[in-house]
Chains A and B, each alone.
Chain A
Amino acid sequence: MVQDQETVLLQGHIIDSLILAKVLDTILMMGGTFDFEDVQIGKTREEPSRARIIVRASSAKLLSEILHAIQPHGASVESERDCRLSPAPADGIFPDEFYATTHLPTQVRVRDQWVEVERIEMDLGILVDTVRLTARTIPMGEVTRGDLIVTGREGVRVIPLQRPRDRDVFSFMESQVSSERPHGHVIGDIAKRLLQLRTGFRDGKTDSKVLLAGGPAIVHAGGREALAWLIEEEFIHVLFCGNALPAHDMEVELYGTSLGYRHAAGRVVPHGHEHHLRTINRIRSIGSIEAAVKSGVVKTGIMAACVRRGVHVVMAGTIRDDGPLPGVITDSVEAQVAMRKAISGIGLAMLVASTLHAVATGNLLPASVPSVCVDVNPAVPTKLADRGSFQAVGLVMDAASFLNELARELGARI
């Protein structure tokens, strides 16, 4: 969906002469699209009008053909300057006035060429290799003294997302989130996407992985079986969570409770609050979740499904964690690095019942990745949907209901 673009300026008596109409028609007829950046209409007959038009095309070749066709009608390409680069003054420190990225596709102009910024993610800097003519995002902490970092805004352009071609819930996103809207068709559309992506994933297609970032409410509320089923059926390929989701998932397996509540009956079990601690302790003594699953200590549930299906799990810890479980990354910068590594090739992200992981994942994802955020607290989906993407869907609903409905939609008997 990333497109090549160029800004052109058209001026003179372009309205009554239909020159503007001709230029816009030409762009569309040739298969391009346009947006007005700025239009000034002359107030009198004598006064000229001017329009600054962003022309977009699916390839550099088509863009150049369109520009070639509209230039004789007076559309002149605005001269562009290279982006400004400054060396990082020290390890881990950006130069002053560093350009802070958005999550939208971005290009920088280096030696008169527009270069795509790789691995786009919001709130990072842009590192440029002027020899190989490449650019990529870089977190503040990873910068090395002398790295050439983009400063200022000149020679940087951010490309708004095109409306996706699929006519489903992701293509009509108003960023409005409401608990009073029906969920059925949204879940139906997500199910369709999951089916498509699974086929793509099995065929080895790029960008067909599905990420789920989830909190322990999934287990508490009764979504464990549904999520385990989705994983077993290969609908989910990457899992982001904290310490609690796996701890309570395995607590169900070992003690039949989650956070001390009898999972089946929903009653508090005497000393049940210790169960998750005992679970964590048990897994720590085994050495790893993987070993616990492979040795048959943990046979069912989310983590067991992940191990069996080879799901890439990143567990990022917090200061309130017990244990933690082996494999939980307690250094949050390290956790960020691990999450960043895991998000390449994601075609859909589901952020379910976890404010912390939902927001962290949302920050890492490029805007082009469709994402659905499910939470009983409207503030979380609202925060995510407000990221300005066409493709962020917010659902105000219980995690278990969501996962159960989704799994049923895909054929599970739950």
Chain B
Amino acid sequence: MSRLLVCPPDYFAIEYEINPWMRRSNAVNSGQAVLQWHRLMQVLEQDVGAVLERMKPVPGLPDLVFTANAGIVVGGKAVPSRFRYPERQREEAHFEDWFRGQGYEVVTLESGAYFEGAGDLLGFADTWFGGYRQRSDIRVFPTLSDWFHREIIPLELVDDRFYHLDTCLCPLSGGELLYFPPAFDHYGQEALAERIDPTRRLVVPEDEALRFACNSVCVGKHVVLPAGCPKTESLLILHGYHPHPVLLDEFMKSGGSAKCLTLALD
């Protein structure tokens, strides 16, 4: 049973610009955003069978909706994020309170090192990948590796449109990897190629990568992904997965999609 943390988009808006997708002039249609979010929740609960934990939205924190950046949670231990931009640093206390309220053992990183949670740290059972350079600091990974007893392979993110690792890489439950190679430098691409068999590397085409096809939620054989990525859907079907496209274009205005709107709580 997969448990996911989500936060309703009551106050979701574009109030600042901290990634190349955000334009204050490109206003969010709140009504549409709420509808799209509820549709995503419906798919996750009904089609995928996930259990959702809902956080209370907070006025003035428009990006609290992107719970993937709350931190990282594994085996009852939670490490809250340390955001790079002051605009999102105000979310830290709310996420941390939520973790504590749920009885998680909260371990905090020393200040000064940025880490944006499951947005930059994801992977398979024994090997994790850590995105760095855009939002998270590579120096946090040895600490997290020590705390969670996992190997963490750092990967440099070289294209600022893919500013979190979960915007260009999505590990699937069967060991396959959905990813967009040009978001990494050749060292990162080589490290991934060394680790994952070519038949298990599912390369997303650029047009769909830019629609955030990699920002997908994989639960068992179900993959929830943004609508408008037919080639990625075909790739997933070919590898035995059930794609569930959901229209999330209001959230793309802020540089986020399905994965950014959830945090795995295991």
Contact = CB atoms under 8 A, between A and B. Distances in A.
B138 interface: yes
A45 B126 contact: yes
Contact of B187 (A12, A13, A21, A48): A21
B187 A18 contact: yes
Interface stretch (B11-19, B153-161, B226-234, B247-255): B153-161
A13 B138 contact: no
B116 to A, nearest CB: 15
A282 to B, nearest CB: 78
Contacts of B156: 22, 73
B151 interface: yes
A46 interface: yes
A106 to B, nearest CB: 32
B79 to A, nearest CB: 16
A74 B145 contact: no
Interface string A74-117: 10100000000000000000000000000000000000000000
Contacts of A16: 151, 153, 191, 194-195
Given A12-B152, A73-B138, A17 B191 contact: yes
Interface string A1-39: 000000000011110111101100000000000000000
A18 to B, nearest CB: 4
Interface in B139-156: 139, 141-142, 145-146, 149-156
A74 B154 contact: yes
B108 interface: no
A18 B146 CA distance: 20
A72 interface: yes
B145 A72 contact: no
A411 to B, nearest CB: 56
B127 A45 contact: yes
A398 B39 CA distance: 96
Interface residues of B, number: 25
Contacts of B146: 48
Contacts of A11: 142
B133 interface: yes
A12 B137 CA distance: 13
Contacts of B53: none
B145 A13 contact: yes
Contact of B138 (A19, A21, A46, A48): A19
Contacts, number: 58
A28 to B, nearest CB: 14
Contacts of B188: 17-18
Contacts of A76: 139
B149 A12 contact: no
A12 B138 contact: yes
Given A22-B187, A45-B127, A72-B133, A17 B142 contact: no
Given A12-B138, A76-B139, A46 B151 contact: yes
A13 B194 CA distance: 14
Nearest to B143: A12
Interface in A22-71: 22, 45-46, 48
A48 B190 contact: no
Contacts of A45: 126-127, 151
Most A CB atoms within 10 A — which of B133, B150, B185, B191? Answer: B191
Contacts of A17: 153-155, 187-188, 191
Contacts of B127: 45
A13 B154 contact: yes
A72 B138 contact: yes
A17 B188 CA distance: 7
Contacts of B195: 16
A46 B191 contact: no
Given A45-B127, A46-B149, A19 B154 contact: yes
A74 B126 CA distance: 22
Most B CB atoms within 10 A — which of A13, A16, A21, A73? Answer: A13
A13 B133 contact: no
Interface string A371-393: 00000000000000000000000
A248 to B, nearest CB: 68
A22 B190 CA distance: 11
Contact of A12 (B154, B155, B185, B190): B154
A27 to B, nearest CB: 14
Nearest to B141: A12
B152 A13 contact: yes
A12 B142 CA distance: 5
A18 B191 CA distance: 6
A13 B151 contact: yes
Contacts of A72: 132-133, 138
Given A18-B190, A18-B191, A22-B187, A13 B126 contact: no
A45 B138 CA distance: 18
Interface string A159-193: 00000000000000000000000000000000000
A72 B191 CA distance: 18
16 contacts: A13-B141, A13-B145, A13-B152, A14-B154, A16-B151, A16-B153, A16-B195, A17-B155, A17-B187, A17-B188, A19-B187, A22-B185, A45-B151, A46-B126, A73-B138, A76-B139
Given A12-B142, A18-B190, A72-B138, 19 more contacts: A13-B142, A13-B145, A13-B153, A14-B154, A16-B151, A17-B154, A17-B187, A17-B191, A18-B187, A19-B138, A19-B187, A22-B156, A22-B187, A46-B145, A48-B146, A72-B133, A73-B154, A74-B139, A76-B139
Closest 8 CB pairs of A and B: A12-B142, A18-B187, A74-B138, A17-B153, A45-B151, A22-B187, A17-B191, A18-B191
